[in-house]
Amino acid sequence: MDYRNNPHIKFMIVMNKMLDSINKKSKPQWKTLKINETEFFVLFALDANGPLTIQEIGSRINMTSGTMTYVIDKLEKKGYIKRVRCEEDRRRIYIEITQSGKVFWDEIIEQHMVYMSEVFSHVETSEVNQMIELMKKIGKG
């Protein structure tokens, strides 16, 4: 079989190029927001889900616990999150977004939504939604 005409191989290559393009376009935005991509996704997970353990955050954003600990430490130093020990099981530690973290998140998510709208301006919203559904379907396979 000729791999050059294989739609699955083409999909992988096109997907990789698309992600690379989005990442390159997003790089200046992270500097403007004064946050890196991983910190953004941690705050996103906490804002969307409420308090989570480091392992739960890691599984939601596909990061290892070693990376997560480093990022959590950085966000905690910035005052955006805090560690809270579980009352029922003192061994469990939840990560919560702080009030200043929520204020920061609300500011940057607005800016990021505007920026990402510009990045995707050449694509119809219905096409983006269609891509999301297709990628979910592929991810379950």
Specify the pTM: 0.85
Band (126; pLDDT cuts 50, 70, 90): very high
Band (65; pLDDT cuts 50, 70, 90): confident
d(CA 18, CA 34): 24
Band (138; pLDDT cuts 50, 70, 90): confident
pLDDT for res 141: 67
Mean pLDDT across the stretch 68-97? Answer: 93
